[in-house]
Copies of this chain bind each other. A is one copy, B any other.
Amino acid sequence: MSTQYTIGLDYGTNSVRALIVNVANGAEVAAAVWIYSHGTQGVILSRDPNLARQHPADYLTGAETTIKQALAMAKKTVRGFKAGQVIGIGVDTTGSTPLPVDENGQPLVFQKKFASNPAAMAWLWKDHTGIAEATEITALARRMRPQYLAKCGGTYSSEWFFSKILKCLRAAPEVFNAAHSWIELSDFVPAALTDMLHPDKFIAGICAAGHKAMYSATWGGYPDKAFLSKLNPKLGALRDRLPKRVLAVDSAVGTLTADWAKRTGLSAGIPVTVGAFDAHTGAIGAGVKPGTLVKIIGTSTCDISVRVNTAKLADIPGVCGIVDGSVVPGYFGIEAGQSAVGDIFNWLVNYMQPGGAKAGSHEELTKGALKLQPGESGLLALDWNNGNRTVLVDQQLTGLLLGQTLYTTPAEVYRALIEATAYGALTIINRYEEYGVKIFEVVNCGGIAEKSPLVMQTYADITGRPMKISRSAQTCALGSAIAAAVVAGAHKDFATAQKKMTGLKPTVYKPNPKAHAIYKKLYALYKQLHDAFGTKQWNGNLHNVMKELIVIRDCVRR
């Protein structure tokens, strides 16, 4: 039998990637990336800093362009490669990124009258225009359907499905009224590739539906009509027009159409899997299993772990969601995340140092930060420049830097910001463990994990756990390719596929016990600030914070 391949199609914030993977060993034989053509690197912005939209045409152009390019590259790099050896396609995307569609399943923005209306485009994951609506949904659910909130950490986010749709209903009723239905980007792409792009045929992924749209088999699917109608009768009516079938990534949505086969060069009829969010397929691609936390570290992070779904799992307050089958079928998928990680470091480099250039680059700041001992700077920061996704679930939190003197340097601040994100990571791990989900190791993915020993060692020292790095630099696309391999029958299940197709880099960052001991003290101070500014329950004094930092600093410097 000749070598078989699958394609992972990975839709990010600024670009889409097609990755061709050998199903026998996970070798990534070819890839292509296409930057979206609309807006600023694919994101349509406005005067409102909360608004972020995408044009769905980019999704279709992107699939065609990248698949064609990746196939061309594979033909060059793999002797005898033929497009016919590709046996399936998996799809992952950002999310929650819903878009309004018409009676034919076509994006509303494709209609001339809505062609330049941002409300008719895809509402990108980081669009926060629905803050008031999220608050309203949370408040109503707390009163009327507390079970809905229990599975998504206690708070419904402005980034999520119904917040965005309700916001559209209020702010752009002409769009809401013209829309027949709404579909997540992760469901839109598989439907478009397989001739399932029709409201009657739509299949939703359990990943998006479960984590972002309060879908659960326990209560019969999406939130009930009475609940949605209470928010707005039109939202209640919309429920009837949402996808009827909701499946996991071990199912196919359908098979590639002849048209798409012609456009890409692939064989018609190969399966296209149910779509999922990038972080979730990323966890698959990083080899997620019980006891392992996968951190996809980029501008923000997604933290994914799984737990067998045969044992009972308590609701975990503050995590973004616990959904049966949302990552790997047969397991609860648990999603958490940090609203900003790389973005905070970029803020210091790009925004806070206008004269920047070489002196203030990531490389130079890293050099300076590496010379410092834990606690030496006397600084402590909160990692909330973009709010807090887990465990506080509060977009209206902001950054905090404390302990600066007249001699504090950018390298010290840089290290303090890295430490802050590590404290944020530890806070998530601690929350998991409080509710019985043990985390023994962390597998990290993304450019920062691969390129910054400073960040990885700091994470190991602060969390007290080994930091491992995924072998693949494209775990999200790889995970989609793995799902496609399972769906196409190349492997009998995900565990087998992961064993064959994923791996780790040889470098492991182990906690330094001396550094960990100092960071334990610093984390206690972080936790004080975290609770004081982030929760209503906290009631105490912070007089100790600056003083203890000085004691630790002087102790380290001595």
Residues of A within 8 A of B (CB): 49, 340, 343-344, 346-347, 351-360, 364, 378, 384-386, 396-410, 413, 532-536, 538-543, 545-547, 549-550
Contacts and interface: CB of A to CB of B under 8 A. Distances in A.
A541 B546 contact: no
Contact of A400 (B402, B413, B539, B550): B402
B538 A533 contact: no
Given A403-B398, A404-B399, A538-B543, A351 B532 contact: no
A550 B398 contact: yes
11 contacts: A352-B409, A355-B360, A378-B398, A385-B406, A398-B402, A398-B404, A398-B546, A535-B543, A536-B541, A538-B541, A539-B539
A138 to B, nearest CB: 15
Contacts of A398: 378, 402-405, 546, 549-550
Nearest to A384: B546
A155 B404 CA distance: 23
Given A351-B408, A398-B402, A532 B536 contact: no
Contact of A401 (B351, B364, B401, B546): B401
Contacts of A542: 532-533, 538, 542
A323 to B, nearest CB: 29
A538 B355 CA distance: 41
A343 B406 contact: yes
Given A354-B409, A536-B543, 19 more contacts: A347-B407, A347-B408, A351-B407, A352-B353, A352-B409, A352-B413, A353-B354, A354-B355, A385-B405, A396-B547, A398-B405, A400-B401, A401-B401, A532-B541, A532-B543, A533-B542, A533-B546, A538-B543, A539-B541
A547 B535 CA distance: 12
A352 B534 contact: no
B546 A396 contact: yes
B396 A352 contact: no
B406 A340 contact: yes
Contacts of A409: 351-352, 354
A134 to B, nearest CB: 15
Nearest to A535: B543
Contact of A406 (B344, B403, B408, B536): B344
A49 B405 CA distance: 11
A299 to B, nearest CB: 9
A384 B547 CA distance: 12
Contacts of A399: 401-405, 408
A545 B398 CA distance: 10
A352 B352 contact: yes
A408 B549 contact: no
A343 B352 CA distance: 19
A318 to B, nearest CB: 15
A479 to B, nearest CB: 27
9 closest cross-chain pairs (CB), A and B: A355-B355, A399-B404, A354-B359, A355-B359, A355-B356, A398-B403, A355-B357, A532-B542, A400-B402
A533 B409 CA distance: 23
A290 to B, nearest CB: 34
A533 B540 CA distance: 11
Contact of A410 (B352, B378, B541): B352
A407 B350 CA distance: 9
Contacts of A400: 400-404
* Interface-centre pick from A352, A385, A407 (highest chain B CB count, 10 A): A352
A533 B542 CA distance: 5
